[in-house]
Copies of this chain bind each other. A is one copy, B any other.
Amino acid sequence: MRIVRTIADLRAALSPHRGETIGFVPTMGALHEGHLSLLRTARSENATVVLSIFVNPTQFGEAADLAAYPRTEEADVALAAEAGTDLVFAPSPAEMYPAGFATSVSVAGAITGTLEGAVRGRSHFDGVATVVAKLLLAVQPDRAYFGAKDAQQVVVVRRMVSDLGIPVEIVARPTSRDDDGLARSSRNTRLSAEERDVAAVIPRALRAAQDAFASGIRDPHRLTTVVRDELAGAGLEPEYVEAVDADSLEPIATAETPALLALAVRVGEVRLIDNVVLGVDDLVPVTGSVS
């Protein structure tokens, strides 16, 4: 496995492999089982597997959040090699955004204005769309793999890729979950043991909404109230809990499938997000290979 730090070196390293399929997993590092399962899926579907590790400063609203984001490159590289990665692209911010950089890619409308966009501001998804566009153009993969935990990110990336006509297949994989159902996230490492126990209410709350949906409830407000009540029982007040159309992220009057129920909540200092597609996702722990 090779590590490269410049786009020029990345292109040179990939050049001999252009004739065969390239699978790409973009990450901000601090790899966990969710990332590894994306890498293993990419491994099973492509001749060459590329991982990027880049903590993208332009998608962080708060400097403190950026500073606190875990950086564990040495461990990441070892895990990536084990998962069958061929090439790691780990650029510096100056490589991605050299002096004079002035371009941004932006997705307008409900897709970026709701959920995370409403709380973190549209600039968050401008940062995401710009860096993903740049990474996709640098790697030029056949397939790029994303986790469904960041459901809105997947919708934004799909829209951007479709609108600009970037020739890549966007593959979304189910959210990887710990044994108690908590969605795996690099941010989980910042939870204390006590906070980690409290956080387990999040998948329970989503499962309660899924159960309510299964029992026939379709009113978005009643479904989100189920979630709020569960979270409140553990002393958590969410930043948002919303049920929206899973494709357009527009508000819905009734939760016919596919509807996405998504939330953000702070547990201590750590901001966590999770979601479920009503009537579809089973919220079971996902361990090991998912391919």
On A, residues with C-beta under 8 Å from B are 7, 11, 100-109, 111, 129-130, 133-134, 137-138, 140, 159-160, 163-167, 248
Inter-chain CA distance A105–B137, complex, in Å, is: 14
Interface centre among A101, A102, A108 (most CB of B within 10 A): A102
A97 and chain B: residue at smallest CB distance: B163
Are B103 and A134 closer than 8 Å at their CB atoms?
A: no
- 28 A–B contact pairs at CB < 8 A? A7-B165, A11-B167, A100-B248, A102-B109, A102-B111, A102-B159, A102-B163, A103-B105, A103-B106, A103-B107, A103-B108, A103-B163, A103-B164, A104-B105, A104-B106, A104-B108, A105-B105, A105-B106, A106-B106, A130-B164, A133-B164, A134-B163, A134-B165, A137-B164, A137-B165, A137-B166, A137-B167, A138-B165
A105 and chain B: residue at smallest CB distance: B105
Chain B residues near A164 (CB-CB < 8 A) = 103, 105, 130, 133-134, 137
Inter-chain CA distance A130–B129, complex, in Å, is: 14
Chain B residues near A248 (CB-CB < 8 A) = 100
In the complex, besides A103-B129, A103-B163, A103-B164, 14 extra interface pairs with C-beta distance below 8 angstroms are A11-B167, A100-B159, A101-B163, A102-B109, A103-B105, A103-B107, A105-B164, A106-B106, A130-B164, A134-B163, A134-B165, A137-B165, A137-B167, A140-B167
Q: How far is the CB of A115 from chain B (nearest CB, A)?
A: 15
Are A160 and B103 closer than 8 Å at their CB atoms?
A: yes
Q: How far is the CB of A138 from chain B (nearest CB, A)?
A: 5
Inter-chain CA distance A165–B132, complex, in Å, is: 12
Inter-chain CA distance A111–B104, complex, in Å, is: 14
Q: How far is the CB of A167 from chain B (nearest CB, A)?
A: 7
Q: How far is the CB of A136 from chain B (nearest CB, A)?
A: 10
Chain B residues near A140 (CB-CB < 8 A) = 167
Q: How far is the CB of A122 from chain B (nearest CB, A)?
A: 12
Chain B residues near A11 (CB-CB < 8 A) = 167
A163 and chain B: residue at smallest CB distance: B103
Inter-chain CA distance A184–B154, complex, in Å, is: 45
Chain B residues near A100 (CB-CB < 8 A) = 159, 248
Chain B residues near A133 (CB-CB < 8 A) = 164
Q: How far is the CB of A77 from chain B (nearest CB, A)?
A: 23
A18 and chain B: residue at smallest CB distance: B18
Inter-chain CA distance A15–B124, complex, in Å, is: 36
Chain B residues near A108 (CB-CB < 8 A) = 102-104
Chain B residues near A166 (CB-CB < 8 A) = 137
Chain B residues near A104 (CB-CB < 8 A) = 105-106, 108
Interface centre among A101, A109, A159 (most CB of B within 10 A): A101
